[in-house]
Each structure stands twice: as structure tokens, then as C-alpha cells.
Amino acid sequence: MSHVPGPVARRPRALPVTGAGQAAAGSYCRTRTSPLWRHLLWAMAAAWGRFLSRAWLCRTAWQGCGRNYRAALCAELKRPLVIEEVTPRPVQPHEVRVNVHFCGINFADILACQGQYQERHQLPFTPGMEFSGMVLETGTDVSTVKEGDRVIGLPGFSGMAEECITDHKNLWQIPEKVSLREAAALPVSYGTAIFALEHRACTQPGETVLVTAAAGATGLAVIDVATNILQAKVIAAAGSDEKCQLAMQSGAQSSVNYSRGSLKEAVGKLVGSGGVNVVIDMVGGDIFLEALRSLAYEGRIVVVGFAGGTIASVPANLLLLKNVSAMGLYWGRYRQQNFPVFSRSLSSALQYCQEGRIQPHIGEVFELEEMK
């Protein structure tokens, strides 16, 4: 998670990181790895997974238009972000100006800054799909939020700045017992997890859920929701013993290190020949195929991503033989196609957090200056 100076609950001042490979709202997810990952992570103040220790970059109170604010800009693909002063523009009647306190870094931010995201952005642009902060100013047609309200926002991109102007429909109020830092870690990872488990897979209490890339932000969110909301049993699959340990600490009942051998065989030893009821896959490739073969009769597998870099072809005969279902989840698409259902997933995440039933994992918090 990234906390940016200025409007981020205190204005993105710091970027919290959640997960072992993915970012949660308002945080920079710092994850393992390749020099490019590390380069983008620190140079951009991004990464995408777990919250680092809390760090704020507080800024004095808003003093009206004309006061510049800082933003992280991707001016050149595959290069470090730059921090620049930006002149604020007036809000339109349907818009809201938010003082960003935390900005989450997601894998999509990394891909966008590499020019590999499905939606291309004109350079320069500001990354940041999700944030938490406080409302500074509202347009004349806005009645859903008011100045001083604490909100989470999903602007698409542009959240990695001290301030963000976005449509009022992109904001959700944060309940009293949820901190800005926690709130920033909820939207993308928990919205996706809730949608995958409840809406797509229709997971039932007592069922067994296998989640791949389990130590990433979304993987950990899946474990949290499946275990503590749906009362399902979770098998966490990840690529190292360290990641498996993190997943177990987050609530998984058992784990499999798929770098050590066959995922299907390991799962079979845990559940027997019956298989698992639900698979939430974020890896793709051979891991997806082994997870598919691990399904029980009438099992469901939900494709959420391809972190492994390979998109597998589905052997249709496997679907037929066990009467299993393979389905996809592009969470963001629901925003345009079925906004009430999309909004409900965010409201549920906030409510579950308010009730203390889920707990976003925060690994680190970066300050905005660390992005350059």
C-alpha cells in the first residue's frame, strides 16, 4: 500500500503493501523478486501486495484551488516514476476532490507502467487504482458525500497523488471502525475475493477451497473471506515455504508448495480422491490445469488472473467427465455491466471489516518520496 502525502487519509503519504505479490488498496504491494519488480516497486513506490509499517506523509489542510499538490507520474514506460507538482483543476458538478491518505498498488499498475495492461494510457499518467482519504470538495450535483467524509475510491487510475478528483460514483464511505489504512487495502483484493467466492463460485459452508498464488493480496483475501465469512476449508497453494507459512498464518487449514512437485498429487493427499469443491486460480498455465484436475464432482474453478504468464487451454473433456464448471472473473467489468452487484462487493468488504470478521494483511507502507 502506498501512502501518498496529502490527501490520503492523511493524503497519500505512505503506501501500505499487502500480500506477497499483490497490492491492496492504498498500499504498495511489495513482493518478491525480479530486478524489474524491485526496480518498479521502489522506484515507483509501488508493488502490489502487503502493507508495510505505517508511515504518513502529512500535509497541511486544503486551502483551495491554486495550491499545487504532488503526484507520481509515469512519463516513460518501463522507467521509474517521477514526482511532480500538479496544479489542481476545478471539480465538475458530478465530481469530488479527495485528499488521498493511502494509495494501493496493484499488479495492474505495474503492467500499465510497462505498457502491458489491456487498457493503454496516454503518457504521462498517474497510476493508482484505489485509495482511501477524506473529501475536500464536492461538485454542485453531488449529494452522496460531503466535505470531511472518509472514503475509499476506485478512480481507475490517478490515485497515486496527494489529491484525486473522481466521479462521486467511484467513492464509498468508510465505516467508523475501519481505519484509512485498512480501508485502502480492501477494494481490489477483497472485492475480487468476495466476488469470486460468493457470486461466481457460490461457495457453501463446509466446502473445500483451493487458492493458488495464496500469498498475494488477493490470495490472502480469498483465504480470509472463505474461512471467516463463508466457513469453508482452505488449501493454500504457493511457490515457496515462506509463502505457504504466511497463508497458514492467515487462516488456511493446509498448504501446498507447488514448486516442489505436482499440485494435483499434493492436493489428493490432503483431500483424497474426492477432490476440492472450489478453485480460485490466479496463476494460469500448468498450475491451472493441475488445479482443474483436482476438482471434485460438480466442482467450480474461477479464473482470476495469469500471474505465471501463461494462459492455459481448457480441456473440455474434463468439464464433461466430472460435470465441473470453469468460469472467469474480470471484477472491474462488473462496474460497467452490473454496477449494483459490483458496489455490493465493496460494501460487503467494508461491512465485514467494520464487524471485525476480516483483517487485511498489511506488510509495509511506503512514502510517496520513495517512488522516485
Query: Where are the chain's structural domains?
Result: 69-184, 188-333
Mean pLDDT of 23-35: 32
CATH superfamily of 188-333: NAD(P)-binding Rossmann-like Domain (3.40.50.720)
Q: What is the pLDDT of residue 66?
A: 56
The 10s digit of each residue's pLDDT in 298-327 is 999 999 999 898 999 999 999 999 999 999
Q: What is the pLDDT of residue 284?
A: 96
Q: What is the pLDDT of residue 23?
A: 34
**Residue in the structure block whose three cell numbers are 457453501:** 204
14 or 199, which is more confident? 199
From the list 111, 214, 273, 116, the residue with the least C-alpha distance to 222 is 214
Mean pLDDT of 93-108: 93
From the list 49, 353, 366, 346, the residue with the least C-alpha distance to 191 is 346
Mean pLDDT of 334-363: 95
**Residue in the structure block whose three cell numbers are 526496480:** 39
> Is pLDDT of 56 > 90?
no
The one-letter amino acid at 117? Y
Contact, 84 vs 36, CB < 8 A?
no
Distance (Å, rounded) from C-alpha 294 to C-alpha 235?
Answer: 12
Q: Which of 15-19, 123-127, 142-146, 359-363 has the least mean pLDDT?
A: 15-19
Q: Which of 69-83, 109-123, 216-230 has the least mean pLDDT?
A: 109-123
0.75 exceeded by pTM: yes
What mean pLDDT value characterizes the chain? 84
* Start-end of H helices in the chain: 35-44, 107-114, 180-184, 187-194, 217-228, 241-249, 263-271, 285-293, 316-322, 333-337, 339-354
- C-alpha distances in angstroms, 218 versus 56, 126, 196, 215, 265? 24, 23, 10, 8, 24
**Confidence bin at 370 (pLDDT 50/70/90):** confident
Q: What is the pLDDT of residue 1?
A: 56
> Is pLDDT of 20 > 90?
no
Of the chain, the percentage scoring pLDDT greater than 90 comes to 73
Q: What is the pLDDT of residue 156?
A: 86
**Confidence bin at 369 (pLDDT 50/70/90):** confident
> Is pLDDT of 42 > 90?
no
Q: What is the pLDDT of residue 234?
A: 98
Contact, 302 vs 323, CB < 8 A?
no
> Is pLDDT of 22 > 60?
no
Contact, 26 vs 20, CB < 8 A?
no
**Confidence bin at 33 (pLDDT 50/70/90):** very low
> Is pLDDT of 364 > 70?
yes
Q: What is the pLDDT of residue 4?
A: 43
The 10s digit of each residue's pLDDT in 249-289 is 999 999 999 999 999 999 999 999 899 999 999 999 999 99
> Is pLDDT of 347 > 60?
yes
**Confidence bin at 108 (pLDDT 50/70/90):** confident
Provide the greatest CA pair distance for the chain.
66
Q: What is the pLDDT of residue 119?
A: 80
CATH number (1.20.120.1200, 3.40.50.1820, 3.30.230.10, 3.90.180.10) of 69-184 reads 3.90.180.10
> Is pLDDT of 55 > 50?
no
Contact, 146 vs 138, CB < 8 A?
yes
**Confidence bin at 372 (pLDDT 50/70/90):** low
Mean pLDDT of 59-80: 75
